[in-house]
Amino acid sequence: MATGLFHTVKSVEKNTRIISGHVSIAASGVPTLHDCDGATVARTAAGKYIVTAGKLYDALLYGGATFIQSAGSAVRFAQIESTAVSSTGAVQFDFVAIDGSAGGSVSELDEGSAFNFILVLENSSGD
């Protein structure tokens, strides 16, 4: 069993906000955001999703997404295509197929697949 004193991220790293969520994918790549406070998600094109924070931030310190494939779908990895957290509050993730017929290209996420994301954001005002 671990011993020691543990702090929340906000108390250790001043002016840092973590936004995370789970996104399930329906037919035609339509996303549904679950378990997230303060963000929205939208599909902009096949395999391209924008996560928008509920406000503007000074910087994106870290961002990542993990793809959860449905049965028979190609394995994909997520890459950050663009960030605009200080102007629109948005981070765009592109999902790139790494096997199968769509290998190496951004392609539609299959119905029944999902992804989890995390954004670590910095805000100088502390709110």
Q: Which residues contact 80 (CB under 8 A, 6 or more apart)?
A: 63, 91, 92, 93, 94
The pLDDT, as a whole number, for residue 76 is 87
pLDDT at 30 over 90: yes
In this prediction, residue 7 carries a pLDDT of 53
* pLDDT tens digit sequence for 110-120: 999 999 999 99
Report the pLDDT averaged over residues 94-111: 80
Higher pLDDT, 48 or 71: 48
**pTM of the model as a whole:** 0.83
**What per-residue confidence (pLDDT) applies to 78?**
93
